[in-house]
């Protein structure tokens, strides 16, 4: 690995530049990174990159899923639980079945079991791809919650299908009763193991005298512990990480200090940012290795199969979106649903068009063994791998590039959050000020006159409540405030350089306070 260190350092630089470029031209960065990986792979002298499945499943997947779970809203996940679970499990199964039937009939040499194997690999939309692309388009909160929730869970269902399909393809046998029992254990066992380990980590945070650095390290260890423990017990490591991450995120204010929460979030986002970029550029870089595996197979025929499978995936997902709408309309007569009003025809279309595939599918294809237990080659392995790559590339390019245009052509109305962000911000700030005023007068009334700082703070709260003014031109106000902060920062730095006997830690503390003030402005309160 050390002999290619310069190349890996170059890749990090390329990732950073391309993500900045993606923001500049308003294109989802996974698209640019995959294309860049493809182009770099054709440069003479480029080291051959071979993605190891274990590297993806153990190194990349747990922290990425954990970070996604921490940023998800448990409230929104629970509200849309029925459609999320239906897409994450039922739709994934029917997608795999559709691909299996298509492959069995139209791709030479594919049995139904091999078709299911291919279907299990390409059926789940990728959590990383969906999250990255949704950051570049504006969609209603309910839609983003559904897509994020689905992408958190569908990897588990697809990997379960993959496991059983691989056994059937290798042995020619499939025991339904045993498969049902294993499926139940993988799902419920994975969830239980994840929550149990999350509970243990939470207790460790509470019992032992941790600080911000220790909290960050434990946060890094937690997803790997959940994933590996579940996999060792033959349960779903994906569900363990997701359930454990949701549990700790929901309880984070019970065991983490404010400093730990800020630093953990910042470090975690930076780490996952690098992992995300690396994952997508590796997909492109792996192309020569994948093409080499085709051998004498006509590459244009293989590309045609890949595009055809992609078409099946898109059609099935769009049909599933409209089927979910019809099911909701029917079921609202019998049970309470998240939204009794029909979502219209636009929402299912957008949901159907957000099925970008990613590195989990590629890693799943690579995990297929090269040979069977008797030493013979695993049937159609290279073709499955190449089709998977074409599916990933085409969904990222076609759907990833056209989704913003589709949303512009068919804009969606957010029926849940109709009030402006400024109005909600002002209401929350006013209520927080009222809570503070009541607390001061109830518990510290005798301290108001003796503590000038407390009296000044009380006046600030009272002014906040009495003034319901909303800053109309926030951008201009923010720029002025940042200019003031920059001037204060220059003064601190100058003072630190000119006074040799001044404790630099004190200066650094005030510089951090100024940084927090500037960061607070980016929240647009």
Q: Band the pLDDT of 339: cuts 50, 70, 90.
A: low
pLDDT above 90: residue 196:
yes
Looking at the domain 2-409, which fold is it?
Na+/H+ antiporter like fold (1.20.1530)
Residue 300 CA neighbour count, 13 Å, CB half = 0
Arithmetic mean of pLDDT, 152-180: 71
pLDDT above 70: residue 178:
no
pLDDT above 60: residue 60:
yes
pLDDT of 418 reads 62
Q: Nearest-CA neighbor of 147 among 87, 92, 67?
A: 87
pLDDT of 422 reads 67
Q: Are 461 and 485 in contact (CB under 8 A)?
A: no
Arithmetic mean of pLDDT, 62-70: 85
Q: Are 366 and 293 in contact (CB under 8 A)?
A: no
* Sequence-separated contacts (24+) of 239-242 with Cβ below 8 Å: 239/153, 239/156, 239/186, 239/187, 239/190, 239/191, 239/194, 240/190, 240/191, 240/193, 240/194, 240/197, 241/61, 241/62, 241/65, 241/66, 241/69, 241/194, 242/65, 242/69, 242/152, 242/153, 242/156, 242/194
- Prediction pTM value: 0.79
List, for residues 397-444, the tens digit of each pLDDT value: 888 788 878 878 877 776 666 666 666 667 777 777 888 888 888 888
Q: Are 218 and 263 in contact (CB under 8 A)?
A: no
Enumerate the domain spans of the chain.
2-409, 427-469, 471-525
List, for residues 457-495, the tens digit of each pLDDT value: 888 878 877 765 555 566 676 777 777 778 878 888 887
């Amino acid at each position: 690995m050390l002999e290619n260190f310069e190349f890996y350092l170059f890749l990090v630089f390329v990732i950073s530049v391309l993500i900045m470029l993606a923001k500049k031209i308003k294109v989802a960065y996974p698209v640019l990174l995959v294309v860049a990986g493809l182009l770099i792979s054709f440069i003479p002298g480029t080291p051959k990159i071979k993605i190891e499945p274990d590297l993806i499943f153990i190194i990349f997947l747990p922290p990425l899923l954990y970070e996604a779970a921490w940023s998800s809203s448990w409230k929104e996940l629970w509200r849309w639980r029925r459609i999320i679970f239906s897409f994450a499990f039922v739709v994934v199964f029917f997608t795999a079945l559709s691909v299996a039937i298509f492959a069995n009939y139209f791709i030479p040499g594919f049995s139904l079991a091999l078709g299911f194997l291919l279907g299990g690999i390409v059926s789940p939309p990728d959590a990383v791809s969906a999250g990255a692309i949704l950051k570049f388009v504006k969609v209603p909160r309910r839609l983003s919650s559904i897509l994020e929730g689905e992408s958190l869970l569908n990897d588990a269902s697809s990997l379960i299908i993959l496991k059983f399909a691989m056994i059937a393809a290798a042995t020619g046998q499939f025991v339904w009763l045993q498969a049902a029992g294993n499926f139940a254990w993988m799902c419920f066992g994975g969830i239980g193991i994840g929550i149990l380990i999350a509970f243990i980590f939470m207790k460790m945070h509470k019992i032992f005298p941790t600080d911000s650095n220790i909290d960050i390290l434990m946060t890094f260890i937690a997803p790997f512990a959940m994933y590996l423990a579940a996999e060792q017990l033959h349960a779903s490591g994906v569900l363990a990480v997701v359930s454990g991450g949701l549990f700790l995120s929901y309880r984070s204010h019970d065991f983490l200090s404010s400093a730990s929460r800020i630093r953990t979030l910042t470090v975690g986002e930076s780490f996952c940012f690098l992992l995300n970029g690396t994952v997508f550029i590796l997909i492109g870089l792996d192309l020569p290795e994948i093409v080499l595996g085709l051998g004498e197979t006509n590459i244009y025929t293989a590309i045609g199969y890949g595009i055809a499978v992609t078409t099946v995936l898109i059609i099935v997902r769009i049909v599933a979106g409209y089927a979910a709408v019809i099911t909701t309309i029917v079921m609202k007569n019998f049970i309470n649903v998240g939204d009794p009003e029909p979502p219209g025809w636009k929402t299912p279309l957008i949901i159907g068009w957000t099925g970008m595939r990613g590195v989990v599918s590629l890693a799943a294809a690579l995990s297929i063994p090269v040979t069977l237990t008797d030493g013979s080659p695993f049937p159609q392995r290279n073709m499955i791998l190449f089709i998977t790559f074409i599916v990933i590339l085409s969904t990222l390019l076609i759907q990833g590039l056209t989704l913003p245009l589709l949303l512009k052509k068919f804009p969606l109305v957010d029926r849940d959050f109709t009030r402006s962000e400024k109005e909600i911000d002002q209401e929350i700030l006013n209520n927080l000020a009222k809570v503070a005023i009541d607390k001061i007068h109830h518990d510290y009334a005798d301290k108001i006159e003796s503590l000038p700082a407390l009296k000044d703070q009380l006046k600030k709260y009272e002014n906040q409540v009495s003034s319901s003014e909303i800053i109309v031109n926030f951008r201009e106000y923010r720029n002025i405030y940042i200019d003031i902060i920059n001037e204060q920062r220059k003064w601190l730095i100058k003072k630190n350089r000119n006074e040799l006997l001044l404790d630099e830690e004190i200066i650094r503390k005030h510089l951090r306070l100024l940084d927090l003030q500037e960061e607070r402005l980016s929240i647009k309160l």
